[in-house]
Amino acid sequence: MRTLLNPAAAAPALTDLALLIARVALGVILVAHGWQKFDEWTVAGTAASFEGMGVPVPSASAVIVTGAELVGGVLLILGLLTPIVALINAVSMLVALFLVHAPAGLFVSEGGYELVLALFAGLIILAATGAGRFSLDRLIAPARRRRAKVRA
């Protein structure tokens, strides 16, 4: 029996729709945070902030995190390279959780880790499951399989 209470038996289209919603929501949040680091705070300002937080190699970390959020967020929205992009950003969230947010407790209003933990959880799901049917990854995958069969 297919029901919402039994995700393993849920219709594949429902699962793909859920992955689309998660990808777009996470992608929008990442783009917004990346744009904030790039445009409002600037990468140099982000690096200075990272230095004050004890983030290792703050200048390089600021460039990497800003790029991962901006470019990665757009790629998640499109569903392109989803597992890789999700994993890169999940690692970034994990580092942020332990280096910056954990000492402040749970609540984001106190500088806590609730947002980065929620983002981490969603990104890990996308890294493990992929983008789903409604994605560029899905459009590209059949072409890759055809080329692999031709080479074999």
Q: Is residue 7 part of a domain?
A: no
Report yes or no on 74 lying in a domain: yes
In a domain, 5, yes or no: no
Number of domains in the chain: 1
Go through 93-132 and write b for each residue having 16 or more CB atoms within 10 A of its CB, e for each that does not: bbebbeebbeeeeeeeeeebbebbbebbebbbbbbebbbb
Question: Which bin fits 120, alpha (ψ -120 to 50), beta or left (φ > 0)?
Answer: alpha
Domain membership of residue 3 (yes or no) is: no
Residue 141 placed within a domain: yes
Is the pLDDT at 1 greater than 60? The verdict is: no
Contacts of 113 (CB under 8 A, 6+ apart): 97, 101, 102, 104, 105, 106
* In a domain? residue 118: yes
Residue with tokens 């407790």: 105
Question: Domain range spanning residue 98?
Answer: 13-151
The answer, yes or no, to whether residue 144 has pLDDT greater than 90, is no
**What CA–CA distance (Å, rounded) separates 26 from 118?**
10
pLDDT over threshold 70, residue 146? no
| Per-chain mean pLDDT for the chain | 92
User: pLDDT tier at 9 (50, 70, 90 boundaries)?
Assistant: low
Q: What is the pLDDT of residue 135?
A: 97
What pLDDT is stored for residue 114 in this prediction? 97
| Domain membership flag for residue 4 | no
pLDDT 10s digits, 40-99? 999 999 999 999 999 999 999 999 999 999 999 999 999 999 999 999 999 999 999 999
User: Any idea what the Cα angle at residue 133 is, between residues 23 and 143, rounded to 5°?
Assistant: 115
pLDDT value at position 10?
Answer: 64
Determine the pLDDT at residue 6: 66
Residue 104 pLDDT exceeds 70: yes
Residue 147 lies in a domain: yes
Average pLDDT rounded to a whole number, residues 138-144: 81
Predicted confidence band of residue 150 (pLDDT cuts 50, 70, 90): confident
